[in-house]
């Protein structure tokens, strides 16, 4: 079974020109089929402030009204996505920028209202794996932003970590899959200010212990939740760590079921 690498990058890389260019050069050098997923929440927040649009967050998630969705769509699917694609082309990497609506790549439904109405936030219900496989077969690299759609004209803001996991699950029967969540920290740490507190291996059992003892920061929990969701859906391995881990032999956190 061929190997597929799926990488996700966040705002701390996207917002620093030297970091994003270094990452994209390293990404372009990775051999074999690969997919890149990105968000862009920091830049969307910056633009919302410039336009005096209130920012509402609940449990680390952005509440997305119509104005916020317009900004997110313009920033994620437009400015960030196309700049990444242009830079990859400059590195000789034939990339294709996609939102979930393009070629019906990722379909979602509006998140149900329970205690909080998140607005135009979508939960993934379908990944068009046949289309993605055809793209990969042509040695074209999908670059997916964190925008999905409902198949009836409505766009949604969707968490990029979740999109990464869902793409991995959808393609798990076609490829041996490794997900790499790349950000500024060395990986999952007991103390985010102390790099020596890096946890290099986490499995289902140790994850449950970490949750019970509250030994890790709340900010990393969504990534871990998505990591185990992906592994339980057929993904082979998940890595969480500094973006340089894709090209250098540096420590990172490896997530596995056992």
**Is 101's pLDDT higher than 80?**
yes
**Is 59's pLDDT higher than 70?**
no
Q: How confident is the model at residue 55 (pLDDT cuts 50, 70, 90)?
A: confident
Bridging pattern class, strands 176-183 and 237-242: parallel
Which pLDDT score is estimated for 114?
85
**Is 141's pLDDT higher than 80?**
yes
Which pLDDT score is estimated for 57?
78
Which pLDDT score is estimated for 96?
98
> How many angstroms separate the CA atoms of 176 and 32, rounded?
12
| 211-246 per-position pLDDT tens digit | 888 778 777 888 899 999 999 999 999 999 999 999
Backbone angles phi, psi at 251, to 5 degrees: -65, 145
Which residue has better confidence, 57 or 101? 101
> How many angstroms separate the CA atoms of 98 and 104, rounded?
10
> How many angstroms separate the CA atoms of 100 and 145, rounded?
8
Q: How confident is the model at residue 8 (pLDDT cuts 50, 70, 90)?
A: very high
**Is 195's pLDDT higher than 90?**
no
> What percent of the chain is modeled with pLDDT above 70?
99
Residues pairing with 124 in the sheet: 108
What's the mean pLDDT in 150-160?
96
Per the prediction, the chain carries an average pLDDT of 93
**Is 154's pLDDT higher than 80?**
yes
Tell which residue, 54, 56, 102, has the closest CA to residue 77: 102
pTM of the model as a whole:
0.94
What's the mean pLDDT in 119-148?
97
Query: What is the CATH T-level fold of the domain 3-255, as seen in this structure?
Result: Carbamate kinase (3.40.1160)
Domain boundaries, the chain: 3-255
> How many angstroms separate the CA atoms of 147 and 113, rounded?
20
> What percent of the chain is modeled with pLDDT above 90?
74
> How many angstroms separate the CA atoms of 155 and 166, rounded?
18
What's the mean pLDDT in 103-120?
93
| 86-98 per-position pLDDT tens digit | 999 999 999 999 9
């Amino acid at each position: 079974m061929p190997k597929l690498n799926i990488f996700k990058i966040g705002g701390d890389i996207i917002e620093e020109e030297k970091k994003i260019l270094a990452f994209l050069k390293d990404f372009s050098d990775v051999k074999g089929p690969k997919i890149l997923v990105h968000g862009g929440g920091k830049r969307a927040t910056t633009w919302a402030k410039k336009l005096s649009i209130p920012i509402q967050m609940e449990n680390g998630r952005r509440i997305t009204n119509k104005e916020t969705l317009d900004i997110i769509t313009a920033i994620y699917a437009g400015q960030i996505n196309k700049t990444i694609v242009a830079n990859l082309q400059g590195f000789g990497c034939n990339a294709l920028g996609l939102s979930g609506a393009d070629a019906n790549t990722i379909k979602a439904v509006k998140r149900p209202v329970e205690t909080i109405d998140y607005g135009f936030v979508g939960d993934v219900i379908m990944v068009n794996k046949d289309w993605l496989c055809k793209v990969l077969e042509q040695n074209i690299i999908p670059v997916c932003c964190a925008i999905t759609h409902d198949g009836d004209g409505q766009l949604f803001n969707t968490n990029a970590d979740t999109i990464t996991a869902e793409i991995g699950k959808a393609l798990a029967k076609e490829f041996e899959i490794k997900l790499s969540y790349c950000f500024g920290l060395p990986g999952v740490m007991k103390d985010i200010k102390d790099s020596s507190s890096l946890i290099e291996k986490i499995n289902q059992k140790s994850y449950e212990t970490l949750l019970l003892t509250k030994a890790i920061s709340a900010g990393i929990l969504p990534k871990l939740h998505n990591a185990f969701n992906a592994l339980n859906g057929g993904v082979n391995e998940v890595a969480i760590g500094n973006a340089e881990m894709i090209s250098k032999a540096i420590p990172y956190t490896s997530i596995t079921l056992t």
